[in-house]
Structure 1
Amino acid sequence: MSSSDPMQRDQNEILSDDTVLIVGGGPVGLLLATVLAFHGVKSLLLERNKTTTKWPKMDLTNARSMEIFRKLGLAKGLRSRGMCNFHSKPNKNSNTTFIGVASHIPYTVLFSSGLSRDKPITQWLHPSVDEYRKNIIKQNDGTHPLEPYQRISQSIFEAWLKESCDSNPLIDVRYGWKVELVEGYGGDVKTTAVDVDSGKRASFVSKYAVGCDGGSSKVRAGLGIPLDGGPTPGYVLLVHFKSTDLSRLQKQGQFWHIFFIRNGQMGGAMIAQDEIDTWTVHLFLPLEADHLSMSSEDAVYTVLGGMGGEYEIKIDQVLVRSTYRPIIAVARSYSALNGRVFLAGDSAHQNIPTGGYGMNMGIADAYDLGWKLAAVINGYGKKGLLDSYELERRPVAFMSVEHSKVHMGTHGAISEILQPDPSMVDANCDEGRRLREEIHKHYQSHDGENKDLGVEMGFHYKSPINIPDEEGRPEPVWEPSCYSPTTLPGVRAPHVFLNDGTPIFDLYGKDYALVEFHDQIDRGSSFLVEAAKEISVPLKHLILIGEDNARKIWQRPLVLIRPDGHVSWRGDTIKDLDAAKHIVAAMVGSNMMVSGLKVAFGCSGSDLLFTQKDEFVIEKMGDFQT
């Protein structure tokens, strides 16, 4: 539901307790509103801009994010926009043509010394969506995601998601409202905003507010939450343009990304936003460089030329041009005002674009916070559930930021490989061939960018709402390069196809699910169902019979799944109703029950409250102190 006439709005609005105020209408804010609505909760979204972004920004929705959109019933819609985009290029039968990234096109990444060369130095052969899906079906062992990734430019993604929100009666989208201040107001939150057209000021009082307002977040700054970290050396000139000069652009083959060596180092990159006519060039510059002295066309030619000087193409239209300086930072806190205000997305963390973690982390933030806020507003979730948001998501931000640096380091190492004479990289001699072979080996042995499933979906949420295994059971070793299937509490449960081909993922339902691999033994699952019913926790009891493959991968006969697909508890039996009540109390964040958990599960309350590895956080914090 959209509101566009500021004269029809009250200057002061008191929102109902079941309405969340969201600041920021980018992908994270729009998705948060979507998740809340999915769970029956209303939201009011304020965005300072009048339209969705024109900038390309992110260009890959990763596999874990696609799983999230599948849960929300939106995966097919997103793929339809990514594979069939609208362009105002008329043909004889229609005012628009439909183009995009067809599902059979591989996501190839090239590494080149310049398009004047006949071929690239090396390449990463990321599979197409079709090929990825075939691999998922073929290898049904829990190591794969359920959904392949999807190429889609943020300008298209964001417009599609806003359309979805506009049509949802639980979401009130108000673009053209600039938020100036978020502050405490008794036990509530007051958000002050200005209508950018009329200049009229209005205040909105709500029980909860969420800052999804980007790296320069007014919400974070106004609440005095510092960022640990800062900008990286150098900056980037971005030029987003249209060109149908495919014979020159794709001289070295069709590509998704192509990285160019320039001046003896990795000097720029180009992204194919679709497979027809839309591209984005990134020119890496030192801080002292003056980009204003360079035209957008010359910037494109400089990047494409690599080590060989400018390489000209026919540019039909420059769409947008900007500069940005990559920042590595994590907010010191994800909440304020006693858990009434939260941060999500770039307002909470910022990283280097390599790996595509930024927006995809924001999607995961919105998903995690959304279902927890909904549980509390719907009456069965407790404050501990909201407290778990920072405990779970902030360590993931540190890990993802670190790995974006790892991927950037892969490109940065090229300058060392090219020493002492970078010009030899194009030479037709033994030294030139040796350099090119060394670059090839380097990229083939450091190929985790956009494929490190351990980073994307293998993280372990350690917080009191996940009941740990009994002592003495070793945890699986985490690796950034792969997802190790496990139902360890706090980890995303493995995707597996059941005997009839149904993904177990699709059977969880909307809220909590107790998955039972039934083997004719009474394991006490009815106690958990009864305990959940007593306090009105929505719980689906999924009984599976004869599913030997899934049972082996899932490791336990009883596994309790959270609304986000992560495991809350697992076990062989539930001995009685009291034990079941302890499990339910923990999973919904009942802090008062934490002391009881040490009786049921053999660990102390302090162990539960501080299960995340504090030494990891402290060590990583040291890397980001300003």
Structure 2
Amino acid sequence: MSPDHRSTYDVIIAGAGPVGLFLACELGLAGCRVLVLEQGDADASVLKRLPFGLRGLNLPTMESLDRRDLLEPLRARMGASDASATVPWVDGARRPAGHFAGLQFFRDMVDEDAWPWRADSATEMLAVTMADVEHVLTARASQLGVAILYNCGVARVAASLDGVQVDAGGVLHQADWLVGCDGGRSTVRKAAGIGFAGTEPEFTGYSMALHLDETNPLCPGRQHTATGMYTYAPPGTVTMIDFDGGASHRTTPLACDHVQAVLRRVSGTDVVVDAVELATTWTDRALIAASYRQGRVLLAGDAAHVHAPLGGQGLNLGIGDAMNLGWKLAAVIHGKGPSSLLESYGQERRPVAEQVLDWSRAQVPLLRPDAGAAALRDVVRDLMDTCDGSTYFAGRVWGVGLHYASLAATHPLIGHSAPDMMLADGRRLNEALRSGRPLLVDFDPADSLAEIAGGFPRLDYAIAGMRFDPGLAALLFRPDGIVAWADSTSDHAAVGGAVARLLDPQLVA
């Protein structure tokens, strides 16, 4: 590709799942020319609908959706399916707050004052289906002018110093950048020669909709047995784990005889499976890409990291990747930031992925079918029955502890997601971030910093309507809502110098 060639697109995204679509929306919001290539068709897979498509959105994901005015459309879309009423671990008199390897912890034991940077922001989680998320994101991407081609998977990739060429369905597409959001078996990652390493699986997990004989002996709920674990929701929804080293994942047809044999072994019963209506397998392998970027090729979501769906962290992790990458890639495309800005994407997101992979690995010992695992489950239950224990688990599962340590922190808020405070004009902070631009919030209207903000044409400015921290004079937020700078001084020269140092004027011009 010659230096003066104008690519057809700024970015090609491989994969129209939630991660690829969210990234497409971020880039579209910034005025980039985006093409999404999806190997499947436009209709959401049945596995993305109830019951197997159910996912829990953690706090950073909900904040990201709210900051782009996508949360309320998603709530409205969910109304018809009532996904929140089908969360399998919501039962009993106490209000569950989440689970770890199926062990519940409860809200009445969680100390939300442990996270002062939340500033009384909501800590509610939300249950959604993958199909609902994709529907809302597809609609928004289309509104923003994103092109989406279905039944058009990536076959080959040719990358050079100044662009990429993608062969999809026999048609060549050109772009300046390519982002692989095409899953754990990513064609883009393999084409870029990026390594993928970690830990191999101990088990094969099964999610199934079955027709069972009327003499069905399975016990409803989660059952740990001498050979594995299964969860049964009448009349025929079964999830089970078989500690076979992952041998049956994508190697054995999920026919009636195989499913029945494994279910009998795991449950220790003579259950009869009359028919398999729907079945899929998964494992506890935990792998991460050696790099999130190779030249003009980047990775996000499962293309960059895979792990067991224990605790439902995968969707949240991928949306976080897209939110972090989108504004940075757009800045580079528009010449408002150096290419090196993209290095901070991997520097910030890879440690988050490593934590999630370890969180997934840590749940496997609790699921093993032996006396040691049973004893360990009792210990974890005891810890969850303490305030400190439940607060720790909530912080991890809810994503409250998200923090980018790579940012130079001179204040405790720096590197954390912004608290959704009220502004003087009646908007919430998340609403003020919907432009996708950086935002300077002034806590002292008597000594307004608006003049300083005016020196940065694409830097938004707002006056806070509340002072949740008496020592704060101003906060600077990145386009993704992460606190980039905080200070107690209202000296204009000091504030202006800090903003200039932390925000390259070209990045916001």
Q: Give the TM-score category using the shorter length.
A: 0.7 to 0.9
Give 1:29 shift.
0.8
Matched, 1:529 2:491: no
Letter in 2 for 1:101: S
SS of structure 2 residue aligned to 1:20: strand
Give 1:53 shift.
3.0
SS of structure 2 residue aligned to 1:152: strand
CA distance in 1, matches of 2:380, 2:34: 51
Give 1:124 shift.
2.4
Letter in 2 for 1:492: S
Residue number among 569, 578, 586 corresponding to 2:485 in the alignment: 569
Residue number among 126, 133, 141 corresponding to 1:157 in the alignment: 133
Equivalent residue number for residue 490 of structure 1:
415
Assess, with a 3 A threshold, how the Cα gap between structure 1 residues 334 and 455 changes in structure 2: closer, same or farther. farther
CA distance in 2, matches of 1:78, 1:34: 15
Question: How big is each residue's C-alpha offset from its partner over 1:50-80, in whole Å with a ceiling of 9 and x where there is no partner?
Answer: 2433323562222321221111211122223
CA distance in 1, matches of 2:131, 2:392: 23
Letter in 1 for 2:230: G
TM norm structure 2: 0.79
Residue number among 266, 269, 272 corresponding to 2:231 in the alignment: 269
Matched, 1:260 2:216: no
| Contact 1:514–1:561 (8 Å) recurs in 2 | yes
Residue number among 167, 177, 187 corresponding to 1:208 in the alignment: 177
Equivalent residue number for residue 315 of structure 2:
359
Equivalent residue number for residue 53 of structure 1:
45
CA distance in 1, matches of 2:501, 2:461: 18
Residue number among 172, 175, 179 corresponding to 2:150 in the alignment: 175
Residue number among 156, 160, 164 corresponding to 1:185 in the alignment: 160
Equivalent residue number for residue 84 of structure 1:
80
Give 1:324 shift.
2.5
Equivalent residue number for residue 329 of structure 1:
287
Letter in 2 for 1:551: D
Cα root mean square deviation, aligned: 4.2
SS of structure 1 residue aligned to 2:309: coil
| Contact 1:46–1:178 (8 Å) recurs in 2 | yes
Superposed, 1:5-154 pairs within 5 Å as: 16=7, 19-51=10-42, 52-55=44-47, 56=52, 59-85=55-81, 100-102=83-85, 107-108=89-90, 124=104, 142=118, 145-146=121-122, 148-154=124-130
Identity of aligned residues (%): 25
Matched, 1:504 2:429: yes
Superposed, 1:340-355 pairs within 5 Å as: 340-355=296-311
| Contact 1:385–1:588 (8 Å) recurs in 2 | no
Residue number among 403, 406, 413 corresponding to 1:460 in the alignment: 403
CA distance in 1, matches of 2:431, 2:236: 35
Equivalent residue number for residue 444 of structure 2:
518
Assess, with a 3 A threshold, how the Cα gap between structure 1 residues 349 and 144 changes in structure 2: closer, same or farther. farther
SS of structure 1 residue aligned to 2:174: strand
Question: How big is each residue's C-alpha offset from its partner over 1:494-530, in whole Å with a ceiling of 9 and x where there is no partner?
Answer: 23457998643333442111111116346xx346414
Assess, with a 3 A threshold, how the Cα gap between structure 1 residues 191 and 102 changes in structure 2: closer, same or farther. same
Give 1:312 shift.
7.0
Equivalent residue number for residue 499 of structure 2:
583
Letter in 2 for 1:226: G
Give 1:409 shift.
3.6
CA distance in 1, matches of 2:120, 2:263: 36
| Contact 1:64–1:145 (8 Å) recurs in 2 | no
Give 1:236 shift.
2.0
Question: How big is each residue's C-alpha offset from its partner over 1:68-127, in whole Å with a ceiling of 9 and x where there is no partner?
Answer: 111121112222333422xxxxxxxxxxxxx54349x895279xxxxxxxxxxx962657
CA distance in 2, matches of 1:288, 1:58: 23
CA distance in 1, matches of 2:480, 2:343: 16
Give the number of the structure with larger relative contact order, counting CA–CA contacts within 8 Å between residues 6 or more apart. Answer: 2
CA distance in 1, matches of 2:264, 2:441: 53
Give 1:350 shift.
1.3
Residue number among 370, 381, 389 corresponding to 2:326 in the alignment: 370
Aligned residue pairs, count? 480
Give 1:294 shift.
7.8
Assess, with a 3 A threshold, how the Cα gap between structure 1 residues 572 and 509 changes in structure 2: closer, same or farther. farther
Equivalent residue number for residue 99 of structure 2:
none
CA distance in 2, matches of 1:185, 1:449: 46
Give 1:292 shift.
5.2
SS of structure 2 residue aligned to 1:532: coil
SS of structure 2 residue aligned to 1:177: coil
| Contact 1:140–1:496 (8 Å) recurs in 2 | no
Larger displacement relative to structure 2 (410-419 or 177-186): 410-419
| Contact 1:108–1:126 (8 Å) recurs in 2 | no
CA distance in 2, matches of 1:42, 1:526: 32
Matched, 1:285 2:243: yes
CA distance in 2, matches of 1:436, 1:401: 20
CA distance in 1, matches of 2:27, 2:203: 39
Letter in 2 for 1:218: T
SS of structure 2 residue aligned to 1:520: helix
| Contact 2:198–2:288 (8 Å) recurs in 1 | yes
Larger displacement relative to structure 2 (20-29 or 351-360): 351-360
CA distance in 1, matches of 2:183, 2:505: 29
Letter in 1 for 2:332: V
Assess, with a 3 A threshold, how the Cα gap between structure 1 residues 418 and 329 changes in structure 2: closer, same or farther. closer
Give 1:542 shift.
1.1
Question: How big is each residue's C-alpha offset from its partner over 1:193-249, in whole Å with a ceiling of 9 and x where there is no partner?
Answer: 22xxxxxx2221111111111111111111111113132222223324589x9x999
Q: Which runs of 5+ in 1 are unaligned?
A: 1-13, 86-98, 111-121, 195-200, 253-257, 420-434, 474-485, 592-626
- Higher Rg: 1
Superposed, 1:548-563 pairs within 5 Å as: 548=467, 550-552=468-470, 555-563=471-479
Equivalent residue number for residue 118 of structure 1:
none
CA distance in 2, matches of 1:583, 1:500: 23
Give 1:171 shift.
0.8
Residue number among 395, 404, 409 corresponding to 2:351 in the alignment: 395
| Contact 1:33–1:43 (8 Å) recurs in 2 | yes
SS of structure 2 residue aligned to 1:468: coil
